[in-house]
Amino acid sequence: MELKEENIINIHHFLPHREPMLMADYILELTPEKVITSFEITSDNIFVHNNHFVEAGLIEHSAQTCSSILGQSFFKGSDDGTKVIGFITNIKKIEIFALPKIGDKIISKASLISQYENICQIFCETFLDDELLIRTEISLFIQELKS
């Protein structure tokens, strides 16, 4: 998938995560039912060990990709002061096939399976070029924090 600046959506508008826990760089596509994100693995990432992005990093990246689907209903714009908290409530299935290395750019594609209020179940796959790295089904809960 070609990254075109005019098509990139700022991930900060849809996730509360910030460095060093932000595991997605850009949203390439976002609808109420699906999302596509990209993430470049850097040497200073907290989930890099022996030049590879470890399993926990892939899982966190998948969860952040998935949470963008549900998170979009909370964030209205770039200067929105909304604060949310989210949790992985369940990982129904997870298959890890390979680990990306420093410098690799991974692409994740997630689609909504079901949603009830602030709880959703989402299917996600992450790729390095055409190679499938991880496939998972995650349940998430997100709620707004009131001041």
Q: Residue 17: what pLDDT?
A: 55
- Whether the per-residue pLDDT at 1 is higher than 50: the answer is no
How far is CA 53 from each of CA 5, 29, 47, 62, rounded to the nearest angstrom? 26, 24, 6, 13
The answer to whether 22 touches 28, Cβ cutoff 8 Å, is: no
**Where does 83-137 have alpha helices with state H?**
none
Number of Cβ within 10 Å of residue 7's Cβ equals 12
Task: List strands edge to edge, sheet with 9-10.
Answer: 9-10, 26-30, 34-40, 105-116, 119-128, 131-144, 84-96
pLDDT tens per residue across span 90-103: 999 999 999 999 99
How far is C-alpha 56 from the geometric centre of its chain's CA atoms? Answer: 13
For the chain, report the end-to-end CA distance as a whole number of angstroms: 40
Say if residue 107's pLDDT is above 60.
yes
Digit-coded pLDDT (tens) for 24-63: 888 888 888 999 999 999 999 999 999 999 999 999 999 9
pTM (2 d.p.): 0.84
Q: Which domains does the chain have, with CATH numbers?
A: 5-144 (3.10.129.10)
Euclidean distance between CA atoms 40 and 2, whole angstroms: 14
Q: Where does residue 25 fall: left (phi above 0), alpha (psi -120 to 50 degrees), or beta otherwise?
A: alpha
Instruction: Grade residue 75 by pLDDT with cuts at 50, 70 and 90.
Output: low
